[in-house]
Structure 1
């Protein structure tokens, strides 16, 4: 086709949505105008979304899923496209996390989003907005994403969730003392669930700690692996098994050196009582 713009799905979440929309349209042999008629918009709008010039709205994505019969595939991808406050790679990671059979994560400094209480998440986000690191609107995006990720954990069948927290996650105050107490209590409740394992990597591990930065590793239903690692300014999503397996090995080594779940919960309860 003449003047057909090539799409780079890796460029951004919006580009990935546009590429998916075009692929679904091409598979059915529809023109942009034919798809637009079924979705109740214009061919120009379809073109703008496909080329990433216009982000997909929730309504647009829901309409696309209805027309293509794709469940919530386009809606999931559209959410990734709208999460502009997040590091590169993380919005796509979240779409996989919502379908993973096993979730493994290691966090440093803060309680990870899937375990945050509403007050903890709100306090953390408010400070980030106050520093000017994100806008209030982006802060709302972050809070909405926390709720979305937590809701995905309650699906059936439930995923297995393995969590290792650096001791700094427990000792860094966020919000009021009541906020921290509620957060620590929530962690103990999480550890009691039948599909979870919670461990603390204590400061005393020292140089035996194989990981120093946050890491997320997913095992999908087909047993494929995916990882997401980040620093302060960058996030890296990795799908190649050869690159993910060494990270998974390091995670297992971390689990072996970390406190047992019973000892981890005991540490949490000691901190709630105000003992070191």
Structure 2
């Protein structure tokens, strides 16, 4: 039987799942047998082990009782719930590292894959000041972002299609110097042979296909995975009946957005301080 490899360094949720599976294997229990012992379904056990579902306090307490681990699972589950990463995002990142094509749309801020370190640090500092995340969670975000960006240099290099709402490049983050370097980074990104860069101008109005950030991945077997998020939650989707319409809408957005040459011209003008 094929089993998903678990990387406990990937996220607190992955670390929880890896420990749960390891202790279950040590006992010689199947997922269904563990499920019977703690009052959950085998499907639920599988989802927690692979990071697709976060462990609740009740689940963690039941696991501690079944394995005789004191409160280790309960303490570890708190780290999962207090992570700065939205549910579904760690699993998305695991797919992103293997994707052959990455399509993204973002509003308001430059997407993480294209951020300079200084821009990313400014974003996380703002979140810490607002009390949205802790300093430790900010470090977690920045570390994961660096790993994601490094994965873009793997061989073969994935194709990356980026459509940014105009608000991403007109909103100053971190001050003028940080923003100037960030705009330069976008131009460098557009010049790569494996990228397509476009701006969705404000005047698209109601023709803009999406109102939330969206990522669509093409995997090595040509299957599709999408990830969309709001301020409070993220959703990973692998059902093709849901993902294919998103891909169609993304293609429509690309057709409506400014061509790459015009998008780069806009960035260059902003870099020089002209409208």
**TM-score, length-scaled by structure 1:** 0.75
Counterpart of 2:125? 126
Q: 1:120-269 maps to which residues of 2 (within 5 A)?
A: 120-269=119-268
Aligned residues: 226
d(CA) in 2 for partners of 1:159, 1:203:
29
Distance 2:25 2:160 in 1: 33
SS at match of 1:262: helix
Query: 1:17 corresponds to which residue?
Result: 18
**Relative to structure 1, is the Cα distance of residues 20 and 103 closer, same or farther in structure 2, using a 3 angstrom cutoff?**
farther
Q: 1:22: Cα distance to partner? A: 6.1
Q: Deviations over 1:186-216 (max 9, x none)?
A: 0000000111111000001111111111000
Structure 2 Cα separation of the partners of residues 242 and 52 of structure 1: 36
1:101 aligned partner: 100
What residue in structure 1 maps to residue 37 of structure 2? none
Q: What is the deviation of 1:86?
A: 1.2
Helix, strand or coil at the partner of 1:190: helix
Shift of 1:17: 3.5
* Separation in structure 2 between the aligned mates of residue 272 and residue 235 of structure 1, nearest angstrom: 33
Deviations 1:118-173 (A, max 9, x none): 11001111011001000000000011111010001010111110000000000111
SS class of match (2:232): coil
Taking the aligned partners of 2:172 and 2:97, their CA distance within structure 1 comes to 29
Please provide the CA RMSD for this pair. 2.7
Distance in 1 of aligned mates of 2:93 and 2:28: 26
Equivalent pair of 1:83/1:142 in contact (CA under 8 Å): no
Deviations 1:7-55, CA, capped at 9 Å, x for gaps: xxxxx555543465468768999xxxxxxxxxxxxxx9xx55xx95464
Written as runs of structure 1 = structure 2, the 5 A alignment for 1:35-50 is 47=67
Change (3 A) 1:206 1:140: same
For 1:39, the equivalent position in structure 2 comes to none
Q: Which runs of 5+ in 2 are unaligned?
A: 1-12, 31-63
Corresponding residue SS for 1:228: strand
Contact 1:117/1:186 (8 A) holds in 2:
yes
Contact 1:129–1:135 (8 Å) recurs in 2: yes
What are the Cα deviations for residues 47-74 of structure 1, in whole angstroms up to 9, with x where unaligned? 55xx954649xxxxxxxxxxxxxxxxxx
In the alignment, structure 1 segments of 5+ residues that lack a partner are 1-11, 30-43, 57-79
Cα separation, 1, equivalents of 2:106 and 2:247: 15
Q: Is this contact kept in 2: 1:84–1:138, CA < 8 A?
A: yes
Query: Is residue 86 of structure 2 the alignment partner of residue 112 of structure 1?
Result: no
SS at match of 2:228: strand
Partner-residue secondary structure (3-state), 2:267: helix
**3-state DSSP class of the match of 1:193?**
coil
Residue equivalent to 2:40: none
Give the Cα–Cα distance (whole angstroms) in 1 for the partners of residues 27 and 100 of structure 2: 31
- Aligned counterparts of 1:104 and 1:233: Cα–Cα separation in 2: 22
